[in-house]
Every structure is written in structure tokens, then in C-alpha cells.
Amino acid sequence: MNASQLAALSPLIILGFAPVVLLAVLIFVRSHAVTAVLAIIALAGTGVALARVYACGPCRITPLIVFDSFAAAYIGLILGAAVVVILISYAYMQRFRGNREEYYILLLLATFGASVLASSAHFASFFLGYEILSVSLYSLIAYPHAIQRNIEAAMKYLILAAASSAFLLLGMAVCYAGARSLDFGRIGELLRHLPPGLPGVVMLTGAALLVVGLSFKLALVPFHWWTPDVYQGAPAPVTGFVATVSKGGIVALLVRLFAPVGLHPGGPLYLMFLVIAAASMIVGNLMALFQDNVKRILAYSSIAHLGYLMVAVLAGGRLAYTAVAFYLMAYFVTILGAFGVVTLLSEPGNEAEHISDYQGLFWSRPWLGAVFTAMLLSLAGIPLTAGFFGKIFVLTAGVGATRWTLALILVIGSTIGLFYYLRIIAALFAKTPSAAAPRPAPSLSVLGGGAVVLLTLVLFWLGIYPTRMAEIFWAAFG
């Protein structure tokens, strides 16, 4: 490894060493505030290093890692989401009676794992990043360990993530048997031009196993069963983290791995992705209609949104991958804002998760009600919000590639989604007797409140002026 490659690796070096530094600091100073500030400084330092690497152009660092504009775009989204999660978590964790500092170390480790996924070009780095992310998430989901349902959610996630890892490892082994290589480029080349006979069957089998493993992590149907239970059982800020940072890293890896393949209609991989995407959009929206728990509604909603995202993945091409990145950014902003409001109204062991908890919120706390309304409208794809243009870009990519069936399902699914989002909005504006005695907001803080307000501003900026971010992503995927 030469000096330029070492410099290009600096974002991962900073982010990888940050948890070690925080552990060393805890030996001498155990302070919730100091740990949170140091975690944000580490993420900011990683962002600065990432900007410097991006300015220097693409760089391949050994066969394992590649830093290019694609990796920079996705790692930037991951870092921004991690900073927001820390800000909305601070007051929530302040009310946790136990060791709080290790929570931020786990957040940094999970962010590091997701960043490795976004920059991976080899199955070895892919699996290392995947396991770092997964193991950190087990602990984060169960972090307030005195709460039984958190332990239950972590156990469910552990078992299903272990199954996902098994599929991924088996898929890697089968792909290696067919390609004699663990490099993404070589795997993609063979999948694009399948060799005749048994070698082609072996490569397709390996790719199918990889798709199954990744679909577990993305909560795509029919590998989604863990999602509502984990979303409901995990602490509110951790749920936001799982819904964004975790999935962002996997989406980046999915695009990098399968973009060179060229998913053409009629091919076996295309058909597999088609069924998964269509089922996710249909099942996610229909199941959300029957929920009264806000966190479960958002869980099923996230299944549908990942299905929407798969429409652009199946479309392929520069426009489609630009749409994927923009949609992912809009989804990050929106879902973090929604779970930010849930976090501000919650405390460990007593979370605002039922629709009844939000009755009359707009009248008792107008700014929180307005923020939550904006986030729900964005998830529904209403104009002037980021979610609207996210769906427009994905729909444009799908129609441009003549993916008519998926485009139609996307439109129908979005229409169904309006109903369950409007149920929550109706509760926010309902003038009921319970509005006179609103649910207390124990975690209401300057940091958390400022974070959700900033997300709301970004939400409307992307919804009114999406061109700038679209141009950045277009240039990144050129």
C-alpha cells in the first residue's frame, strides 16, 4: 500500500480508530456528554477526510476497498444519518439509568461497518463490514438491557441475521467455486456473460443465495418477518438507525455488486428481483393498513419503500442509480425525522408508539405535530417534500426502462400508503379530551429538537429545489 492509497483510506482509519479512542477515554473519564461530543467529532473528522479523498479522485486500495465518488456519496449519507441519530439520542439516553457511554461506541462501530460495505469491492471486505454492522446492531437493539422487549427484539434480530449470514457465506462459496475469485468485478462479469452448462448454473445459484442474504438485511418480502417486531422492540433512536444507516450500507453494496451484471428482463436474476420488489410494495402497504402501533406502521412502510427503491435498481443505468441515491437520501431525512419525533416523546421503557399517544399533538405541541405531519406527507410522496421527488425520480427511471408492471405497482402502493399515513395525521389534529392532557415529552431537548427542525428544512429544500442534489449524484455515478 503506497502513500496515496493510505491517504485514500483515511476516512475508514479515522472511523475505525474512533471507538478505540472512546474506550480509552472511558478509562479516565466516564461522561455521557464528553462521549457524545467525541463521537460527533469523530464523524465530522471522517467527513472532512472523505471530502479530501473525493477531491483526489477514485482510488483502489488493495483488492478489497475502492474509494470513488460512488463510495463517497453513500458514506456521506451514512455519516450524516449517524450524526442525526446521536443528536436525537442524547436526551433519550440521558434518562437511561445505566452506562450510557458504550451506546455511542456501538453507534460508531455500526457506522464503520456500513461504510466498509459502501466501499467494498471484494467479498472479504464485504463480509467483515457486514458482521461489524450486524454485531453492533444486536447490542444496540438490546442496549437498555433491563427492558425485556428490547432483549426479545435483539434475539429475533440475532437469529434472523445469523440465517442471513449463512446464506451470504454459502453464496460467496458457490460464486467462488464458479469464478475462482472473490472480486466483485470478476463475479459481475461472469453473471453478465454466463458461461454455458454447469458453471453458469453454479454462478446463478451463488447469486441467488446472495440476493436472499441481502434481502434479509433490507427486509424485503418474503424475508421481512423480523422487521415489525424489531422496530417495535428496539429503542426509538436505534430503530431510526437500523432503518437508515444499516440499510444504506446494504443498498450501496447491492448496487455495486449487481450494477455491472445488467439485470435484463427475462433473466433469472431479474425475475427474482422483480418478484421480491413487487411483493415488498404490495405486502408492505397492505400490512401497514392493519396496524395501530406507529413503529410497526413505519416498519411495514419501510418494507414498501425498499420495494420502491428496487424499481430503480431493476431499471439500471446512470439515471436509475442517481434515482436510487436521491430516493435513499429523501428516505433517510424523512424516516430520521419521523423517528426523531417518536424519540422526543419517549423515554426508555415508556415509548410513544401507539396512535393514541399522538392524539391532539398538533394542539399541545404545534411544532412537533407540524414536523411529524411533514415527515408523514413526505413518506406518502406529497408534492413540496423530498419524498415526492424521490418517487418521481424512481418512477421516471422505471418508465424510461419500460418496467411498466413495477411502475404501476409503485403508483398503486403509494395510493394505499396515503390511508395509513393519514390515520396518524388525523390523530395529530384530532381535538379529543385526551388533547387536554397531552403525553409528556420527557426527552424534549435543544439538540433533538434542533435536529428534527433541520431535517424538516432539508425535507422541504429537497422537495422544492431537488436539482442540486440530483446533479451531485448524477456526477458521482458518471
Residue type, 401: A
How far the first Cα of the chain sits from its last, in Å, is 27
- Count the Cβ atoms, other than its own, within 10 Å of residue 286: 14
Q: Across-strand partners of 472?
A: none
Torsion angles phi and psi, residue 66, rounded to 5: -130, 125
What pLDDT was estimated at residue 46? 94
Integer Cα distance of 229 and 225 in angstroms: 8
Q: Across-strand partners of 70?
A: none
Residue type, 63: P
Integer Cα distance of 132 and 48 in angstroms: 23
What pLDDT was estimated at residue 261? 81
- Count the Cβ atoms, other than its own, within 10 Å of residue 200: 16
Residue type, 181: S
What pLDDT was estimated at residue 126? 93
Which candidate, 108, 104, 45, 111, places its Cα nearest to that of 75? Answer: 111
- How open is the CA angle 376-112-47, to the nearest 5 degrees? 75
What are the angstrom distances between the C-alpha of 23 and each of 36, 101, 148, 184, 441?
12, 9, 27, 35, 32
- Which long-range contacts (C-beta less than 8 Å, at least 24 apart) are formed by 321-325? 321/255, 321/259, 321/477, 322/393, 322/470, 322/473, 322/474, 322/477, 323/390, 323/393, 323/394, 323/396, 323/397, 324/251, 324/255, 324/394, 325/73, 325/74, 325/77, 325/473, 325/476, 325/477
SS3 244: helix
Residues 277, 310 contacting (CB under 8 angstroms): yes
Per-residue model confidence as pLDDT tens for the chain (478 residues): 777 888 889 999 999 999 999 999 998 888 889 999 999 999 999 999 998 888 777 788 888 999 888 899 999 999 999 999 999 999 888 887 778 889 999 999 999 999 999 999 999 999 999 999 999 999 999 887 767 888 888 898 998 888 889 999 999 999 999 888 899 988 988 888 888 888 888 999 999 999 999 999 899 988 888 899 999 989 999 999 999 999 999 999 999 888 878 777 878 888 999 999 999 999 999 999 989 999 999 999 999 999 999 999 998 888 888 999 999 999 999 999 999 999 988 887 788 888 988 888 888 888 899 999 999 999 999 999 999 999 999 999 999 888 899 999 999 999 999 999 999 999 998 876 554 444 555 546 788 889 999 999 999 999 999 988 988 888 877 6
Residues 6+ away with beta carbon under 8 Å from 290: none
What pLDDT was estimated at residue 441? 54
What pLDDT was estimated at residue 436? 44
SS3 205: helix
Burial class (CB in 10 A: 0-12, 13-18, 19+), 95: middle
What pLDDT was estimated at residue 437? 45
Residue type, 104: Y
What pLDDT was estimated at residue 443? 46
Integer Cα distance of 23 and 465 in angstroms: 42
SS3 157: helix
To 10 degrees, what angle do helices 318-344 and 386-400 make? 150
What pLDDT was estimated at residue 445? 73
Does the pTM exceed 0.85? yes
Cis peptide before 222 (omega within 30 of 0): yes
What are the angstrom distances between the C-alpha of 135 and each of 30, 93, 141, 161?
24, 20, 10, 9
Domain ranges of the chain: 264-478
Integer Cα distance of 286 and 315 in angstroms: 24
What are the angstrom distances between the C-alpha of 190 and each of 196, 251, 317?
11, 21, 19
